[in-house]
Amino acid sequence: MVILDEPFSGLDPVNADLLKKEIIRTKESGAAIIFSSHDMNNVEELCDHVVMLRNGKVVLNGSVDEIRNQFGKKHVFVTTDMSLNELAELDGVSEVVRRGHNRYKITLTNEEYGKEIFDAVSRGEYIEEFSQQPPTLDEIFRTKAVEKHA
């Protein structure tokens, strides 16, 4: 069993990658690894099971996919020649963020709008990118970290 507390803190990208490779190698050799981290990208990449605590209480518990899917596939990543304003006016869209030239992240009010959005942006033609995803662990962490106590 290996226990690591914020193992990537202060590491440059090259050494962080070396440590990730060693953690994966150790995991594959059969070791149980427990680590604490506030870097959800590392958690998402390395962990089989996640537990998030807030004020000593468990607020998330499960596999990365189970946790992400609890929040619905409300994010659409798309490459389209439609404008930001045109995308924002589509039914079921709550927010549109430009990610680059003709690349957008669309937040849906309900994941069920995904097919309608696909139909609208593809117009029956090939499109380079369309991916409907649940929120990342980082987005979920940010939500849960500030959520009021029930």
Each residue's pLDDT tens digit, 40-50: 999 999 999 99
Counting the structural domains of the chain, the total is 2
Q: Are residues 90 and 46 in the same domain?
A: no
Q: Are residues 79 and 117 in the same domain?
A: yes
The reported pLDDT for the residue numbered 149 is: 55
Residue 90 in domain: yes
- Cβ–Cβ under 8 Å, residues 134 and 69: yes
Residue 40 in domain: yes
Give per-residue pLDDT as tens, 58-90.
Answer: 999 999 999 999 999 999 999 999 999 999 999
Q: Are residues 59 and 96 in the same domain?
A: no
98-116 average pLDDT score:
95
The residues near 132 (Cβ < 8 Å, ≥ 6 apart) are 73, 75, 76, 111, 114, 118
Residue 45 in domain: yes
Q: Are residues 121 and 103 in the same domain?
A: yes
Q: Are residues 25 and 60 in the same domain?
A: yes
- Cα 140 to Cα 60: distance, rounded to the nearest angstrom: 9
Mean pLDDT of the chain: 93
- Cα 14 to Cα 20: distance, rounded to the nearest angstrom: 10
Question: Which residues constitute the domain of residue 39?
Answer: 2-69
User: Residue 26, CB half-sphere, CA atoms under 13 Å: how many?
Assistant: 16
pTM of the predicted protein model: 0.75
Q: Are residues 56 and 7 in the same domain?
A: yes
Predicted confidence (pLDDT) at residue 22 exceeds the cutoff of 90: yes
Percent of the chain at pLDDT > 70 equals 98
The reported pLDDT for the residue numbered 144 is: 86
What are the DSSP E strand ranges found in the chain? 2-5, 33-36, 50-54, 57-62, 75-79, 93-100, 103-108, 129-133
Residue 108 in domain: yes
Residue 150 in domain: no
- Cβ–Cβ under 8 Å, residues 16 and 41: no
CATH number for position 8: 3.40.50.300
The reported pLDDT for the residue numbered 147 is: 76
